[in-house]
């Protein structure tokens, strides 16, 4: 008879499982270190059992927050904005992006522009010469005029 021998197993599979909550042990050592575990605590730690129950979000609505009153005592005063970091263009941020764009459009070179911005404004130089810390861009412009742009070791137009 196979059926009577497997009856307890069949009954156990057919019965509904109860919703179980885990028991979590809160273990605190002598130096204040806290560990949460389901395995138990070390002998030198104090043990406090905590019930971990996480209800489904739809089973219970969240508690309503009390309405805030517009009181000067609870409303913080506006604070000044503090900029913690800003974009560094590598040339000490002497010019804003708008000033650089306007100089490039007008084919002007201003201190604080990078090598690429100089080339955007005036094109490729006719001749390049270098010394220890400076690079010189030589431009031969129309009607016999020439222009010299001096770049520092970082590739920025010097003052």
The pLDDT confidence band at residue 8, using thresholds 50, 70 and 90, is low
Give the DSSP H/E element, type plus range, for residue 52.
Answer: strand 46-52
Give the pLDDT of residue 136: 95
Averaged pLDDT of the chain: 78
Give the pLDDT of residue 115: 94
135: pLDDT strictly greater than 80: yes
Give the pLDDT of residue 57: 60
- Report if residue 149 sits inside a domain: yes
Give the pLDDT of residue 59: 58
114: pLDDT strictly greater than 90: yes
- Report if residue 123 sits inside a domain: yes
1: pLDDT strictly greater than 50: no
Residue 119 neighbours by CB under 8 Å, 6+ apart: 125
Where does a domain end: 34, 53, 72?
53
Across the range 67-82, mean pLDDT stands at 66
Give the DSSP H/E element, type plus range, for residue 129.
Answer: strand 127-130
From its phi and psi, is residue 114 left (phi > 0), alpha (psi between -120 and 50) or beta? beta
- Count structural domains, the chain: 2
pLDDT exceeding 90 applies to what percent of the chain?
Answer: 31
Residue 133, domain extent = 111-159
- HEC assignment per residue over 17-35: CCCCCEEEEEEECCCCCEE
- Report if residue 155 sits inside a domain: yes
25-57 tens-digit pLDDT: 788 888 888 888 777 788 888 888 776 666 666
Give the pLDDT of residue 71: 55
- Report if residue 95 sits inside a domain: no
- Report if residue 63 sits inside a domain: no
131: pLDDT strictly greater than 50: yes
């Amino acid at each position: 008879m196979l059926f009577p021998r497997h009856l307890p197993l069949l009954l156990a599979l057919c019965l509904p499982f109860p919703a179980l909550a885990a028991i979590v042990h809160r273990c605190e050592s002598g130096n204040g270190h806290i560990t949460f575990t389901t395995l138990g605590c070390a002998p030198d730690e104090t043990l406090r059992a905590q019930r971990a129950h996480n209800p489904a979000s739809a089973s219970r609505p969240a508690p309503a927050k009390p309405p805030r009153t517009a009181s000067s005592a609870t409303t913080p005063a506006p604070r000044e904005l503090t900029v913690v970091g800003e974009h560094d263009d590598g040339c000490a941020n002497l010019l804003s992006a708008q000033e650089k764009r306007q100089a490039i459009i007008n084919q002007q070179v201003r201190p604080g522009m990078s090598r690429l911005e100089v080339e955007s404004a005036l094109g490729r130089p006719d001749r390049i010469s270098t010394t220890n810390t400076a690079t010189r861009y030589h431009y031969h412009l129309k009607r016999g005029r020439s222009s010299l742009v001096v770049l520092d070791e970082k590739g920025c137009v010097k003052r």
